[in-house]
Amino acid sequence: MSLLIINADDFGYSTGVNYGILHSYQQGILTSTTMITTMPGFEEGVKLAEENPGLGIGVHLSLTCGKPLREDVPSLIQSNGQFHQLSFYEEDFKIDLDELYKEWKEQIERVVKRGIKPTHLDSHHHVNSLSPITEVFIQLAKEYDLPVRNNFDVPTDILTTKRFNTSFDLIGMTKETWKPMELKNIVQECQMFGEVEAMCHPGYVDQVLLANSSLRDSRAVTVAELSRSDYANILKENDIQLGTYSDL
């Protein structure tokens, strides 16, 4: 039997995102999410997590969204106190890795201290895949003994899936129905690799999302796709088990 982890990024981003993720879990095939601690929907996300213990919850480490939890990380912020935007990391950049370690450890601890045992780690905008940020990401994964998303060259002593799939985001962005061939793509990857994470960004549009994200109405399309009634049967027919990183 193959394992498919359907993981929603950005839990805790906003009320709209939180409830889009929750709907995708309760009414659809979503099994896992990662919580962002630097956005206004965090406290609500904690409450929803408590009410839905079957939803796997990891930590979505933030470096480009919101503001730091710590006040002693000047290399990570702009003059307005917010994190640098993604464009900062798309050019040659320099940050203090000790500051990054302290900030990301604080983000993990914020989740842990609220009684949530994280299932795994990933990062907002995939910044964990950038050198030298990767070094800190690996250090924290080992320190907390947590699996990680397979979006970089993962060391052999850290647990991860065999494959990382982004089909959901591609479908949502083009506002198309998830055609059978797209589902077939994920089914084939599960059968070939055994353990697959399919990343997605479900959510409903609200003011926080409008003010902060370029990924907007496509999130609602993704909620609809994840909630399609035929998907669970198709996966079952192909001997694919839905699960979380705790099932690795």
* pLDDT one-digit tens code per residue, 15-25: 999 999 999 99
**pLDDT tier, 181 (very low <50, low <70, confident <90, very high otherwise):** very low
The angle at the Cα of 70, spanning 106 to 151, to the nearest 5 degrees, equals 50
The single residue listed with the structure tokens 């009320």 is 15
Task: Give bridge partners of residue 60 from the DSSP assignment.
Answer: 122
pTM (predicted TM-score): 0.95
* pLDDT one-digit tens code per residue, 148-158: 999 999 999 99
Domain boundaries, the chain: 2-247
CATH architecture of 2-247: Alpha-Beta Barrel (3.20)
Task: Give bridge partners of residue 2 from the DSSP assignment.
Answer: 240
Cα(233)–Cα(224) distance, integer angstroms: 16
